[in-house]
Structure 1
Amino acid sequence: MTDTAVKIDNVAIARDYFRLLDAKSPDMLSLFTPDFEFYYPKYGRGGGAEQLMDVVVGLSARVETMEHDVSDYLFVAEGDHVVVEGTTRGVLSNGDKWAAGETPCGRFCNVFTFRDGKIARVAVYLDPDYLNEAESAFLWGREGRQW
């Protein structure tokens, strides 16, 4: 397979990751190598299906639904890596909503590493304060900000 074909396949797998994540599908685990590693803010580094499910269960306690609209995402593929910059919107378990561009949270960047057509590592960089509880973190205030 050519380098270009591998990059195209890796981007397709990254797209599938977001689709299956939004669907809360256990099939998402089929995209990963058995020994995969991950990073998620406030959880830290982890590895394997059991620890990833810890993150999913923790998020599910706060997040009712989440949507990734990959149609306008930036995908940068190089070698075994795909970097994705994107946005989310969703509904929290308390009924509050968030949407990137309208609320302070919802923007993210994921860095994927692939091995043999599977995700071997993913690092997720985002602000997990979906409930906007970290008021003291708004060092420059909220007024006049574009989200």
Structure 2
Amino acid sequence: MAVTTGIMTDEQRKSVALEYLKAFDNAGTTSTGGSILDLFADDAQVYFPKWGIAEGKDQIGRMFADVGGTLKSIKHDYAAFNWIFSGGDTLVAEGTSHGEHQDGPWRAGVPDWGAGRWCDVFEIRDFLIQRVFIYLDPDYAGKDTDRYPWLTGRSKPDLVVPARREARTHA
């Protein structure tokens, strides 16, 4: 464990977590043009479902390449995030996303049981991510339904973004 050298505020930790999430939306590039790996401590850990725990920047890079290689695009819905602060180095972000996986598109809530809802638990010290454990359904395209009896007979509806409603005026 690294020795703490500076005190961070909750808002500073949140800004590091946001930079990390926005880098995913930008194919692994941060707002300053650097690599998403620049946001991590050398001995950081990242957990992703069905991949496991990656330790250190080399393994984290391999994990991100493996997972990111299955995604054509991703967009996090920043305005709807819930943030939970521990008063220490740990914070939690809960949110939704949409995008396109190699197996098809996804959008949180379409269908309600499908992918797109996630929760990340961060540990951030000295402006670097020490640990992030990612909790989500990695079946982005919703194809793994046969193993779940409550989904039998349900099909994934076509992913159609609802048309914008026009304002109505009354005469």
- TM class by shorter chain equals 0.7 to 0.9
Q: Percent identity?
A: 30
- Which 10-residue stretch deviates more, 85-94 or 52-61? 52-61
Contact 2:93 2:121 survives alignment (8 Å): yes
TM-score, length-scaled by structure 1: 0.86
Q: Which amino acid aligns with 1:85?
A: E
Query: What's the counterpart of residue 83 of structure 1?
Result: 92
Distance 1:137 1:107, change over 3 A: farther
**Shift of the alpha carbon at 1:135?**
1.5
Aligned length in residues: 141
Query: What's the counterpart of residue 122 of structure 2?
Result: 112
Whole-angstrom CA distance in 2 between matches of 1:75 and 1:51? 27
More helix as a share of residues: 1
**Shift of the alpha carbon at 1:132?**
2.3
More strand as a share of residues: 1
Query: What's the counterpart of residue 109 of structure 2?
Result: 101
Contact 2:89 2:123 survives alignment (8 Å): yes
TM-score, length-scaled by structure 2: 0.75
Distance 1:46 1:91, change over 3 A: same
Computing the radius of gyration from Cα coordinates, the structure with the larger value is 2
Task: Please list, as runs of the form range in 1=range in 2, the aligned pairs for 1:14-93 lying within 5 A after superposition.
Answer: 14-24=17-27, 25=29, 26-78=34-86, 79-93=88-102
Query: What's the counterpart of residue 124 of structure 1?
Result: 134
| Contiguous gaps of at least 5 residues in structure 1 | none
| Contiguous gaps of at least 5 residues in structure 2 | 1-6, 155-171
Q: Which amino acid aligns with 2:151?
A: G
Q: Which amino acid aligns with 1:129?
A: D
